[in-house]
Structure formats: structure tokens, C-alpha cells
């Protein structure tokens, strides 16, 4: 485990938390059994369909609203329960929901944002698990005058645990990488209060 500590940033990285066999199994299973939906955003009153596919699973009643969408959770399936159990053991956190993102290839990414919606409480802990192709993941401070950047390799079977006040002070993103042709599935486990 690697522990990154900076001002208002606290991240633990568990590379190969899931073995290669387990990761490949979860990658294929999630691709086939998750109820994926094409992501939409509303900009200037107009709905746009994005290439990224998403799904929201969790305990009943743990609704999540972001970018003008209200997501009601689908009940945990067996594989999601197994993944959740493993990251709960290493993090000692009880998660009650997960947002899944499917990036078909490097043309699909996610812009700068933080997971700081009010449903997540003051200092939310986010457990980010990835299966599939390795992608580079970045963080930068919310304060524009601070040019600090953190680069983390989000690799097959890894867990990136974002702790403390990280979401309060830092933004994160998954840049587009046109030379990557393979798929990646990411799961951000959250605790909705
Ligand atoms: O795919 C990733 O690593 C980023 C996911 C993310 O930022 C999110 O779900 O909020």
C-alpha cells in the first residue's frame, strides 16, 4: 500500500488488491451483468448523450443526484457484494452505494470535479476500484493559484482510497487518451448519509 499525504490530501493506493484472474473475471462479469445506461448531461437546458455508460447500485433509498440526474439504486448483485466486502476489509469503511463508469476506450474520460455532493456528507471517503486497461488519473487543488498536480496510475485490480478532506480541497479527472483502445470499468464506492 502506498500512502500519499499532502496538504488536505490523503490517498491510499492498493495496487493489485484483486489478482489478475479475479480482475479479469470481475471485468467481464460487470460488463455483462450491470444495467448500464448511457450517461446524459443537461447543458443550457438541453440534454446531451455522452459516450460514458454509468450505473448506480446500493442499499435501497440511497438516491444520488448529480449533473441534473437523479439516480435510484439497483440492488447489489453478488459480484458487487464481493468487491465491496474486500474493500471494506482493507479500508474499515462501510460503503452503501457505488457509481459504476464504463469507459469503452481512451476517447472516453471524465472532466475535473470532486465527489462533494451534499448526500456524501462533509468529508466523504471514496473507494475507487478499476478493472481493465490502466489509465492515468489526476488530482489538482481547487484553488486556482496552486499549480500542484498529483498523478496516479489507476491500474487493473487497484483500489484508490480518497480520504479526509481530499474531496473538499481537490478536484480529480480521468483525461482522454486517444492512443488507448481498450476498455476500463471503474467503481466509486460511496457512503450516502
Ligand atoms: O474513472 C475514474 O477513475 C474516475 C471516476 C470518478 O471520478 C467518479 O466516479 O466520480
Which residues share a beta bridge with 53? 38, 102
Domain coverage including residue 170: 2-190
We report the CATH number of the domain holding residue 87 as: 2.60.120.590
* Nearest 10 degrees: Cα torsion 152, 38, 28, 180: -50
Orientation of helix 78-91 relative to helix 20-33, angle to 10°: 130
**Residue in this structure with the C-alpha cell 456528507, named with its chain if needed:** 121
Give me the tens of pLDDT residue by residue for the chain, a chain 193 residues long.
Answer: 999 999 999 999 999 999 999 999 999 999 999 999 998 888 888 888 889 999 999 999 888 876 667 788 999 999 999 999 999 999 999 999 999 999 999 999 999 999 988 888 888 999 999 999 999 999 999 999 999 999 999 999 999 999 989 999 999 999 999 999 999 999 999 999 8
- Residue from 101, 183, 189 whose mutation best tests the ligand 1 pocket (most atoms within 8 A of CB): 101
* Cα 186 to averaged position of ligand 1 atoms, centre (Å): 7
| Residue 148 grid coordinates | 500542484
Strand order through the sheet with 97-103: 2-6, 9-14, 158-162, 126-132, 184-190, 97-103, 46-58, 37-43
User: What's the whole-model pTM score?
Assistant: 0.95
**Apex CA 121: angle with CA 115 and CA 124, to 5°?**
50
* Count of domains forming the chain: 1
- Residue from 69, 159, 186 whose mutation best tests the ligand 1 pocket (most atoms within 8 A of CB): 186
Amino acid at each position: 500500500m502506498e500512502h500519499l499525504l499532502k496538504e488536505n490530501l490523503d490517498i491510499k493506493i492498493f495496487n493489485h488488491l484483486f489478482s489478475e484472474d479475479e480482475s479479469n473475471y470481475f471485468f467481464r462479469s460487470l460488463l455483462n451483468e450491470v444495467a448500464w445506461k448511457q450517461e446524459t448531461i443537461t447543458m443550457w437546458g438541453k440534454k446531451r448523450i455522452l459516450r460514458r455508460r454509468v450505473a448506480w447500485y446500493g442499499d435501497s433509498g440511497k438516491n444520488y443526484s448529480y449533473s441534473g440526474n437523479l439516480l435510484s439504486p439497483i440492488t447489489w448483485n453478488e459480484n458487487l457484494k464481493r468487491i465491496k466486502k474486500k474493500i471494506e476489509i482493507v479500508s474499515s469503511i462501510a460503503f452503501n452505494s457505488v457509481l459504476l463508469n464504463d469507459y469503452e476506450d481512451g476517447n472516453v474520460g471524465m472532466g475535473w470535479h470532486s465527489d462533494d455532493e451534499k448526500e456524501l456528507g462533509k468529508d466523504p471517503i471514496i473507494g475507487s476500484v478499476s478493472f481493465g486497461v490502466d489509465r492515468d488519473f489526476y488530482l489538482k487543488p481547487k484553488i486556482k493559484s496552486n499549480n500542484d498536480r498529483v498523478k496516479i496510475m489507476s491500474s487493473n485490480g487497484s483500489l484508490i482510497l480518497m480520504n479526509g478532506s481530499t474531496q473538499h480541497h481537490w478536484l480529480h479527472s480521468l483525461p482522454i487518451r486517444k492512443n488507448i483502445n481498450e476498455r476500463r470499468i471503474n467503481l466509486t464506492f460511496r457512503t450516502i448519509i
